[in-house]
């Protein structure tokens, strides 16, 4: 730290330069996003004809036109659906992944190593391999065009990534805590709810955030299982504006895309510190 402070004093320009380079880099990376936000305030006929991304006025027409579609469905429905699916997925992942992780981390059962390896192996299974069999199962259950195929699997600990995250975390918790609880007469389930769950906090926050972002951004499985507009989520709603043949609506599409970023950015901004915490603490113990 001391050397750093001295370096700054001796070369004040080098830090200035670093910041300048970083700012220019950040601007370049953010330019497409800024272009989109700028375009969301322009009429269609100016979006691609004018190079300047800054709109002439803060015209909200696109936002008003985009919110309620020509078919009568509005983004209120899409946001509601997205949040319902996200909430279901988050609850499912928190309950089931923590249970599975606890079992893998603490309970000795036959072939535990093998089951753990298989569980991790599902991480490497491409999504497309399982699509058709899954679709056939959910279709024969009569679950297509409901939220069930998107939520119910989450209650069966299918997200191996989160299980792995929590296993690593639980392994870092001193076993003495559990032994002490056992001496006090706790059974397995009580140990899990009274000792492990409260200590698992940072890992649960990480799981919540990632599940939210991944579910909110998911497109294909939602497209596959949701067929009618009243069941559509935000990511499906955004696809309703454009088609080359026929009439496209770029302005409203950019406006709604801009709005759709708000929940993700909010979640990230509020939980950013805890997110880093969760990953850092799980990474400490191997």
Partner 1 sequence: MAKQEDLEAAGSARRLTRRTILVGAGALAVSPLLSGVSFAQDATTMRLSWWGSDDRHKKTLALIQLFQSKHPGLTITPEYGGFVGYQDKLSTQFAGGNAPDVMQVAEPGPLIASGRLLALDDYIAAGTIDVSNASKSVLETAKVNGKQYSVPWGLACGCYFLDNQVFEDAKVDIPDYGWTWDEYAKVAKSLSKPGFYGSADIWAAAGTRSLAALEVFLRERQKYAFTPEGKIGFGPDELTEWFTFWDELRKAGAVPPGEVTALETGFETSPIITGKAAMYPINSSIASSLQGLTKHKLTVAPFPTGVGSTALKGDQYGAFVNSSMQIYINVDAKDKDLAAAFVNFVLNDPEAAKIQLMARGVPASSKIAELVTPNISPVEQSMVATVKYVADHASPGFVPWPKQGSEVQDLMQRSHQAVAFEQASIADTVSQFFDQAGQILG
Residue 31 engages partner 1 in binding (rule: CB under 8 A)? no
SS3 category, 69: coil
Assigned token pair, 29 = 């990376």
Please give the distance of CA 91 from its chain centroid, rounded to a whole number: 14
Which residue, among 179, 207, 187, has the nearest Cα to 271 in the 3D structure? 207
151 binds partner 1 (CB under 8 A): no
In the list 120, 182, 205, 279, the residue contacting partner 1 (rule: CB under 8 A) is 182
All residues at 6 or more sequence positions from 221 whose CB lies less than 8 Å from its CB, including other chains:
127, 149, 150
| Shortest CB 59 distance to partner 1, Å | 16
Q: Is 141 in the site for partner 1 (CB under 8 A)?
A: yes
Please report how close the Cβ of residue 276 comes to partner 1 at its closest, in angstroms: 34
Between 43 and 201, name the residue whose CB sits nearer to partner 1. 43
Query: Per CB under 8 A, does 181 bind partner 1?
Result: no
Q: Kindly tell me which of 9 and 108 has the beta carbon lying closer to partner 1.
A: 108
Residue 41-80 contact track with partner 1, rule CB under 8 A, x = bound:
---xxxxxx-------------------xxx---------
Closest approach of partner 1 to the CB of residue 17, in Å = 33
Instruction: Count the neighbouring beta carbons within 10 Å of the beta carbon of residue 138.
Output: 19
Q: Which is nearer to partner 1, 157 or 275 (CB)?
A: 157
Q: Tokens standing for 213?
A: 């972002």
- Selected binder of partner 1 within 5, 10, 29, 132 (CB under 8 A): 132
> How many angstroms separate the CA atoms of 105 and 108, rounded?
8
Asked if 101 and 170 count as a contact pair (C-beta separation under 8 A), the reply is yes
Q: Does 240 bind partner 1 (CB under 8 A)?
A: yes
Instruction: State how far the Cα of 198 lies from the Cα of 194, in Å rounded to an integer.
Output: 7
Distance from C-alpha of 90 to C-alpha of 34, rounded to nearest angstrom:
31
Q: Which residues bind partner 1 (CB under 8 A)?
A: 44-49, 69-71, 107-109, 131-132, 135-136, 139, 141-144, 146, 182, 187-189, 219-220, 223-224, 227-229, 232, 236, 239-250, 252
């Amino acid at each position: 730290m001391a050397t750093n402070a001295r370096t700054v004093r001796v070369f004040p320009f080098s830090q200035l330069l670093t910041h300048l380079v970083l700012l220019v880099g950040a601007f370049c990376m953010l330019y497409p996003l800024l272009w989109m936000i700028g375009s969301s305030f322009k009429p269609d006929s100016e979006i691609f004809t004018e190079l300047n991304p800054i709109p002439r006025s803060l015209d909200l027409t696109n936002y008003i036109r985009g919110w309620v579609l020509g078919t009568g469905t509005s983004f209120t429905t899409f946001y509601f659906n997205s949040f319902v699916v996200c909430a279901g997925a988050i609850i499912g992942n928190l309950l089931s992944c923590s249970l599975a992780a606890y079992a893998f981390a603490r309970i000795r059962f036959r072939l535990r190593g093998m089951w753990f390896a298989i569980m991790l192996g599902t991480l490497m299974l491409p999504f497309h391999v399982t699509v058709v069999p899954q679709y056939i199962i959910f279709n024969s259950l009569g679950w297509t065009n409901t939220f069930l195929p998107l939520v119910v699997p989450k209650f069966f600990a299918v997200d191996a990534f989160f299980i792995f995250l929590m296993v690593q975390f639980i392994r870092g918790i001193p076993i003495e805590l559990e032994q002490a609880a056992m001496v006090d007469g706790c059974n397995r389930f009580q140990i899990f709810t009274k000792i492990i769950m409260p200590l698992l906090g940072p890992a649960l926050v990480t799981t919540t955030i990632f599940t939210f972002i991944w579910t909110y951004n998911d497109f294909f499985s939602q497209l596959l299982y949701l067929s009618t507009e009243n069941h559509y989520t935000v990511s499906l709603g955004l696809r309703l504006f454009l088609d080359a043949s026929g009439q496209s609506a770029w302005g409203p599409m950019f406006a709604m895309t801009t709005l759709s970023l708000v929940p993700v950015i909010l979640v990230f901004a509020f939980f950013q510190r805890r997110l880093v915490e969760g990953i850092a603490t799980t990474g400490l113990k191997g």
